Amino acid sequence: MIQKDPLKKKTFAVDIDGTITLNGMGSIHLEALSKLRSLKDEGHNVILVTGRSSVEGYLLSIFGGLTHLAVGENGGCITFGDKIQHKLLGNKGECIHALATIQSKLDAEIKEKPVFPRMTEVVLERTFDIKQAQKIIDEDNLNVSLTDSGYAYHINSKGVDKGSGFLEAIKMLEVDVNDTIAIGDSETDVPLFKAIKNNIAVSNSTENLKKLAKIITTKKSGEGVLEGLDMIASDLR
C-alpha cells in the first residue's frame, strides 16, 4: 500500500491521456477531475504531468481547480504561476535534428502529429517502426530519446522525461519526493514511477508500468483513478 504519513500534505503527479480521460479517449472524466480538485481543496498539491503541451496541462489545471503548475512535453517544459511562465528543460533543436536524421535514413512515412505547439520536443504520428528509428538514434549517437505514449511518438532531449520534469517541479515547490504520489498508464509514465515509489497504475496501463506500481486498479482510466484514490483515502486523512 501507499506509504502513510498523514501529518504532511501530499503532492500528486497525474497523467492526463489514458488516466483521467473517459476509457482512454480525449474527453476528461469529470468525476475524476472533481475528486482531484477535492484533494487540492484539502491542501494537497495536484500537478498534471503529461505528454501534451505544458500549456494544455496548465489550462486544465486552472479550469479544473488544481495546482497552478503543469509538467508537459514529457518533462520538457514546466508552465506555472498566475502570470504564465515557462521553465524549459529540453532542447527542441536537437530533437528537430534527430527527426531530420531519422527521415533521411528510414524508408517510411514519418510526419509530425498536428498538436498544440511544442517548445522542447517533436511529436510524431505512429506510422513507422519505432524500433528501427531507435536503432538510427543509437547508431548516430543522437542526444535524444524516442518514446511511445500510446497516442504519439515523442522525441525529447536525452535525460528529459516525466520523472526528471516532476522532480524539478517539486523542487520549485519545496516538496519532499517521499510526500508524492504518481498516477499514470503509459510507457512515458515509467520514469515517473521510478522517481516516485508511491504510485497507482490504472488497469489499462502497460505491463512495464504495472511492474513498478504499488497499486494496480481493476478499472480503467478515470474510473481507475477514482478507485485508486478511494484505496488510499485513509492515508490522506
Cell of 19: 488516466
Nearest 5°: phi and psi at 171? -65, -40
Q: Model-level pTM?
A: 0.92
Question: CATH 3.40.50.1000 occupies which residues in the chain?
Answer: 11-88+160-236
Of all residues in the chain, what percent are helix, strand and coil, respectively (each to 5)?
40, 20, 40
88: enclosing H helix or E strand: strand 85-88
Maximum Cα interatomic distance, the chain, rounded to a whole number of Å: 57
pLDDT per residue as tens, the chain (237 positions): 555 554 479 999 999 999 999 865 679 999 999 999 999 999 999 999 999 999 999 999 999 999 999 999 999 999 999 889 999 999 999 999 999 999 999 999 999 999 999 999 999 999 999 999 999 999 999 999 999 988 899 999 999 999 999 999 999 999 999 999 999 999 999 999 999 999 999 999 999 999 999 999 999 999 999 999 999 986 665
Which CATH code fits 92-157?
3.90.1070.10
pLDDT reported for residue 58: 98
List the strands of the sheet with 122-124, edge to edge: 122-124, 153-157, 144-148
| Residue found under cell 504519439 | 152
Contacts of 137 (CB under 8 A, 6+ apart): 98, 101, 102, 144, 145, 146
Distance CA 196, CA 169 (A): 13
The residues carrying an active-site annotation are 15
Contacts of 86 (CB under 8 A, 6+ apart): 54, 77, 78, 79, 119
CATH superfamily assigned to domain 11-88+160-236 = HAD superfamily/HAD-like (3.40.50.1000)
Cell of 126: 505512429
pLDDT reported for residue 2: 53
pLDDT reported for residue 7: 45
Q: Is 18 in contact with 186 (CB distance < 8 Å)?
A: yes
Question: CATH 3.90.1070.10 occupies which residues in the chain?
Answer: 92-157
